Amino acid sequence: MGARFLYGDSEPFPDGFDFLSALRSFVRASSRVLALAYEADELERSLGERAQEHLHALEALQAFFNGLGDVIAERAARSGAPQVVGPYASQLLDQIDALSAKARAARAKDLDADQVEVAARIRARRSELRAALAEYLVSEPLPVDSWALSLGLGGTAPQGQVVRSHPGDLTTSFSLDVSRDASWGRPRKIGDFAPGLALQVGFKKAFLRSSLHPDVVVLDEMMIAALELGPDSMEIHLRRKLDAPRDSFVITLDPEGDELVAKITRFDERSGGGSDAPYASQGDEIARIAELAEALRAECAPLVARKQRLLSAQLDGHDVFERNLVHVLLLRVSERLASVATEVARHSPNPHELSLKLEREDGRREELYLRKSDLVQMVADLPPEAIQLYQRLSFLPLPQTRAHPQSVAPPMSHVDIEVMVEPPRSSSAPPPIPKPSSPPPPPKRKW
């Protein structure tokens, strides 16, 4: 039977996994991600504030230089000798215009420098955020509804990718560490999975006759050059040697309605790779190809866990990073953990801890616990709106409330929560902040 998890009060724990480690991992990673997201958002807001400061500075400079020009024009008009004073007044006004333009240019240069510096900091925060979330998704085994796998085994080094579908409309894709896998880090033959597999690949002419006969090929020694596996589909590329320039056969298996359809494409290796029309397998051969697919799927199942690098994460079909859905993703993970956290807290004897027990076959029980204060410390530096993510995870202290009857609002019977999807955002640069238009230079005065 092996070891099994129990609640802290020794009642059976139905979820059957190390929830405390999963909770600690989530809180640690998500608090880091939220802190970086908050810093990036604050930096983006600061760009807008600096643009407004720039506009106010330009307005103040314009008012100052306009005032100087008005004073000079007034003094020249009241001098009693405009023909004598006018040329000097014009020179002064030209100098004021030049100085005004220089001041405006200096302000614009300062704003540009600020924007470049802040934009670099925003990119750095967004990059750290992506890396922190990717590290969590690579290391944390979120529940998987289904997976699809792609392997390339014909090059100098085996390569692979996996697409995993999770509860909550989350889809992630990862590169795989194929070379270190005991099963797929070495060349594999069809005979390793389906010994003695012989399939009809088409028809051929009988020797010295025009009649056609079934062309049956034994595939035992065929090497697997590439493989794609879905929940109910398969495409496998076979070569006589892995270093051969082209495939010999491609076998596909796909569902059509309630049935499976299998097709085999044969390539003419002697004529430069031209292919025959795909041959549709019949009867028992479809069943044998389906058995091959199941054997390959079972052999690939451990490889799916060898996640190496996050390639993409999508929520409801939208890219998590481009659409700024990181917080929504964390919220859905938190909701998945919340119901388990509530039960673990209810069964934990110590109110300051979340605890489980690990019961072993020999009758020994090992207590596992997680201090709530340790989790609180992880989120202590987050802004209050970010801490709301953890309200249902049963480790935050209960808020101290005071009754004020005169200010208590009537309870709401219904609350609608709407998730807004932002427009796509570049992963390499923050959204540009438009510069405010500068006021026009003062017009030349005529005497």
Residue type, 282: Q
431 or 33, which is more confident? 33
In the predicted structure, residue 433 carries a pLDDT above the cut 80: no
Region 41-45 average pLDDT: 88
The model's confidence at residue 381, banded by pLDDT at 50, 70 and 90, is: very high
pLDDT tens for each residue of 142-155: 889 999 999 999 87
In the predicted structure, residue 374 carries a pLDDT above the cut 90: yes
pLDDT for position 86: 85
The model's confidence at residue 308, banded by pLDDT at 50, 70 and 90, is: very high
pLDDT tens for each residue of 80-119: 887 888 888 888 888 988 988 888 888 888 888 888 888 8
pLDDT for position 417: 36
The model's confidence at residue 444, banded by pLDDT at 50, 70 and 90, is: very low
Tell me which residue has tokens 């989120």. Answer: 379
> Residues near 222 by Cβ (< 8 Å), separated by ≥ 6?
189, 190, 238, 239, 240, 248, 249
**Total-model pTM:** 0.74
pLDDT for position 302: 92
pLDDT for position 75: 86
> Residues near 283 by Cβ (< 8 Å), separated by ≥ 6?
none
159 close to 151: Cβ distance less than 8 angstroms:
yes
For the ranges 91-105, 163-177, 182-196, which has the lowest average pLDDT?
Answer: 91-105
Strands 159-166 and 146-152 come out as antiparallel
Which alpha helices (DSSP H) does 278-388 contain, by range? 284-304, 326-346, 372-379, 384-387
In the predicted structure, residue 31 carries a pLDDT above the cut 90: yes
Which H helix or E strand runs over 4? Answer: strand 4-7
264 close to 278: Cβ distance less than 8 angstroms:
yes
Burial per residue of 220-236, b for 16 or more beta-carbon CB atoms within 10 angstroms, e otherwise? eebbbbbbbbbeeebbb
The model's confidence at residue 399, banded by pLDDT at 50, 70 and 90, is: low
Region 63-73 average pLDDT: 88
In the predicted structure, residue 419 carries a pLDDT above the cut 90: no
pLDDT for position 148: 96
